[in-house]
Amino acid sequence: MTIAIGSRLPQATFKEKTADGPVEITTDQLFAGKRVVLFAVPGAFTPTCSLNHLPGYLDNRDAILAKGVDDIAVVAVNDWHVMGAWAQSSGGLGKIHFLADWDGAFTKALGLDVDLSGGGLGVRSKRYSMLVEDGVVKSLNVEESPGQATVSAADAMLQQL
């Protein structure tokens, strides 16, 4: 079953690379009492993710935060080394959270996993964005195709805030 608007996010623990090494961050730590924009990508460093989806959120970070959002996070079924390297190379380190859902547990619990084995990627996350308030999904935008970044793009999220 796919998570829906009005649902509470499932409990999960992510890994995030920091200057001091990897840290664990739970859904409670990230979302409790906060208004957070979360978006997901099928994979760090993949073309649409790196050239379109992530840059839109980095370019619009200040505009999103100005709309009363406390934090922005991107999640992918990748390990924390990959997510940390992506944060560094994209210029996003310290600007948004780069969350490693290393085993896909969070993605599967949301019901937003997709098998991309035909493309050599294995089980990954569907591309989506959501606005989460105090752990509850307020808006959810899931792309029809992993190669698209339209309904889950930063511009679309800005219009919903």
Which positions are catalytic?
Answer: 49
Tokens encoding 94: 């310290």
Tokens encoding 21: 């090494």
Distances (CA, A) of 145 to 29, 41, 76, 151: 31, 11, 16, 11
